[in-house]
């Protein structure tokens, strides 16, 4: 059936873009953390060869993370948003795992990385002796702030949909009637 196949392909591609985004944001945060907080080890950790391996790993994990959707039956057409998307009520256990591994865990990792960077930036600015300062240029700080803003915006936009999904997965019979349709649709389009 072409309609079913089209739905699976479009849902799969949407999942790849969403999960790929959060995994790439996580990879960038880890990279910035290593660059700023562990600058002496950075060149070895992020050689050209290693960097290519990290990028390939991120995309392999992204595809691997989306493939189970094809077997769980969680990619379904949702008339509220006029597209094939992840059906949060398809499997409670699977939805909880998806929200944890594809949103909460990456957010925790990115938050840790950026908090450690902020602490170092504050410590560096407070130091009096310039010879004790790690190499931290205004350009580095600007790049860090830019990526931090991207992370915050991503988290703010995707948190509502993920938390609605988590609530639905934990108690579908009780929660689904409580969620206004406009809230779901608005969180989907954020």
Q: What are the pLDDT digits (tens) for 137-183?
A: 788 778 888 888 998 998 888 888 888 888 888 887 787 778 777 77
Token pair of 97 as six digits: 């795992």
1-189: CATH homologous superfamily?
Rhodopsin 7-helix transmembrane proteins (1.20.1070.10)
What pLDDT was estimated at residue 1?
Answer: 53
How is residue 65 written in tokens?
Answer: 């993370």
Most confident of 24-38, 110-124, 162-176: 24-38
Both tokens assigned to 25: 């944001």
At 22, the pLDDT band (50, 70, 90 cuts) reads very high
Q: What is the per-residue pLDDT for 16? A: 92
Task: For Cα atoms 60, 63, 68, give the angle at the middle one, nearest 5 degrees.
Answer: 130
E strands, 62-136, in order: 75-78, 83-86
Closest CA to 75 of 175, 3, 132: 3
pLDDT of 132 reads: 53
Has residue 79 got a pLDDT over 70?
yes
pLDDT of residue 26: 96
Residues with Cβ within 8 Å of residue 77, at least 6 apart in sequence:
7, 83, 84
């Amino acid at each position: 059936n072409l309609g079913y196949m089209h739905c699976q392909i479009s849902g799969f591609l949407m999942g790849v873009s969403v999960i790929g985004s959060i995994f790439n944001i996580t990879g960038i945060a880890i990279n910035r953390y290593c660059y700023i907080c562990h600058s002496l080890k950075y060149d070895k950790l992020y050689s050209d060869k290693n960097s290519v391996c990290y990028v390939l790993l991120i995309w392999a994990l992204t595809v691997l993370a989306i493939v189970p959707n094809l077997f769980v039956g969680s990619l379904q057409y949702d008339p509220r948003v006029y597209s094939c998307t992840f059906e949060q009520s398809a499997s409670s256990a699977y939805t909880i795992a998806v929200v944890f591994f594809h949103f909460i865990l990456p957010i925790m990792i990115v938050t840790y990385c950026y908090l450690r960077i902020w602490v170092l930036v504050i410590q560096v600015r407070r130091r009096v002796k310039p010879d004790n300062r790690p190499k931290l240029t205004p350009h580095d700080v600007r790049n860090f702030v830019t990526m931090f803003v991207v992370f915050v915006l991503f988290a703010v936009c995707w948190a509502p949909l993920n938390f609605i999904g988590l609530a639905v997965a934990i108690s579908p019979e009780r929660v689904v009637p409580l969620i206004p349709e406009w809230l779901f649709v608005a969180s989907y389009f954020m």
